[in-house]
Structure 1
Amino acid sequence: MNRTLYTLLFHLGLPLIALRLWLRARKAPAYAQRIGERFARGLPMMQQGGIWVHAVSVGESIAAAPMVRALLARYPHLPLTITCMTPTGSERIRSMFANEPRVQHCYLPYDFPWAAARFLDHVRPKIGVIMETELWPNHIHQCAKRGIPTVLANARLSERSARGYAKFARLTRPMLAEMSLIAVQTETEAQRFRDLGAHPECVQVTGSIKFDLTVDPQLLSRAARQRADWQTLDRPVWIAASTHAGEDEVVLSAHRQVLAHHPDALLILVPRHPERFDSVYELVRQQGFTGVRRSSGEPVTRETAVLVGDTMGELLFLYALADIAFVGGSLVPNGGHNLLEPAALDKPVLSGPHLFNFLEIAALLRNAGALKESSDAVGLAAAVQGLIEQPDQAKAMADAGLAVIKANQGALSKLLDGIGGLLR
Structure 2
Amino acid sequence: MVATYNIIIYLYTKLLALAALFNNKAKLLVKGREAQVVKALPKSLWFHFASLGEFEQGRPVLEEVKSKYPDVPVVITFFSPSGYEVRKNTALADAVYYLPQDTFKNARQFIDSINPVMAVFTKYEYWYHYFKQLHSRHIPLYVISGIFRPGQVFFKWYGSLHREMLKMVTWFFVQDIPSKHLLQNLGISNVTISGDTRFDRVWANAQAPKALQHIAEFKNGKKLFVAGSTWPADEALFTQLINQHPGWRFVFAPHEIGDSKIAGLEQTLSGILTVRHSNIEALNEQTRVLIIDNMGMLSALYQYADMVYIGGGFGAGIHNTLEAAAFGVPVIFGPNYQKFKEARDLIEKGAGFSINNQEELLTTVNRLMANEDLSNAAAQIAKHYVDSHIGATNTIMSYIIDKHPLL
Shared topology, TM-score over 0.5? yes
The within-5 A match list for 1:342-357 is 342-357=324-339
Tell me how many residue pairs correspond in the alignment. 402
Q: Alignment partner for residue 125 of structure 2, among 120, 134, 139?
A: 134
* Pairwise CA distance, 1:60: 0.8
C-alpha displacement at 1:124, in angstroms? 0.8
Deviation at 1:82, TM superposition (A): 1.3
**Runs of 5+ unmatched residues, structure 1:** none
Output the amino acid matched with 2:248: A
The alpha-carbon deviation at position 43 of structure 1 amounts to 2.3
Among 147, 169, 172, the alignment partner of 2:162 is 172
Q: Write the letter of the residue equivalent to 1:91.
A: E
1:376 aligns with 2:366: no
2:175 partner amino acid: Q
The more displaced of 392-401 and 51-60 is 392-401
Instruction: Tell me, yes or no, if the aligned pair for 2:277 and 2:292 is still in contact at 8 Å.
Output: yes
Q: Indicate if the aligned counterparts of 2:117 and 2:140 stay in contact, CA closer than 8 A.
A: yes
Q: Secondary structure at the match of 1:215?
A: helix
CA distance in structure 2 between the aligned counterparts of 1:87 and 1:9, rounded to whole angstroms: 21
Aligned match of 2:32 = 34
Q: Which moved further from structure 2: 14-23 or 58-67?
A: 14-23
Per the alignment, do residues 243 and 43 of structure 1 end up closer, same or farther by CA in structure 2, a change over 3 Å counting?
same
| CA positional deviation for 1:258 | 4.0
CA RMSD across the alignment: 2.4
Match of 1:182, as an amino acid?
Answer: F
User: Separation in 1 of the partners of 2:78 and 2:225?
Assistant: 31
Which residue matches 1:314? 297
On the 8 A contact 2:78/2:84 being kept in 1, the answer is yes
Please report how far the alpha carbon of residue 165 of structure 1 lies from its aligned counterpart in structure 2 after TM superposition: 4.9
Q: Distance in 2 between matches of 1:44 and 1:412?
A: 29
Q: C-alpha displacement at 1:47, in angstroms?
A: 4.5
Structure 1 counterpart of 2:247? 264
The aligned runs of 1:5-24 (5 Å cut-off) are 5-24=4-23
| Structure 1 position 326, deviation (Å) | 0.9
Distance 1:182 1:242, change over 3 A: same
How far apart are the structure 2 equivalents of 1:123 and 1:143? 12
Which residue of the partner structure matches residue 79 of structure 1? 73
Counterpart amino acid of residue 75 in structure 1: Y
Where 1:246 maps in the other structure, the secondary structure is helix
Among 196, 220, 226, the alignment partner of 1:208 is 196
1:193 is paired with a residue of what secondary structure?
helix
Other-structure match for 2:151: 160
1:29 CA displacement: 5.6
Q: Deviations over 1:350-379 (max 9, x none)?
A: 112211231x21232223221122211122
Letter in 1 for 2:103: F
Give the conservation status (yes or no) of the 8 Å contact 1:88–1:273.
Answer: no
After TM superposition, give the deviation of residue 345 of structure 1 in Å.
1.7
Q: Which amino acid aligns with 2:350?
A: G
The answer to whether residue 98 in structure 2 is matched with residue 104 in structure 1 is: no
2:236 to 249, 254, 278: 249
Partner of 1:385: 366
Change in CA separation of 1:156 and 1:289 when aligned onto 2, cut-off 3 Å: same
8 A contact 1:50–1:81 mirrored in 2: yes
Question: What's the counterpart of residue 182 of structure 1?
Answer: 172
In the alignment, structure 1 residue 420 sits paired with structure 2 residue 404: no
Change in 2 beyond 3 A, CA 1:142/1:190: same
Work out whether residues 236 and 264 of structure 1, in 8 Å CA contact, stay in contact via their aligned partners in 2.
Answer: yes
C-alpha contact 1:71 1:416 (8 A) present in aligned 2: yes
CA-CA distance at 1:105 after TM superposition: 0.8
Residues 80-119 of structure 1: CA distance to partner in whole angstroms, max 9, x if unpaired? Answer: 2111112211133246x3x44x442111111111111111
Residue in structure 2 matched with residue 303 of structure 1 by the alignment: 286
1:400 to 357, 363, 381: 381
Structure 2 CA distance for aligned equivalents of residues 217 and 210 of structure 1: 14
Letter in 2 for 1:34: G
Q: Is the 8 A contact 2:41 2:113 kept in 1?
A: no
Distance 2:2 2:385 in 1: 42
Whole-angstrom distance in 1 between the partners of 2:142 and 2:16: 27
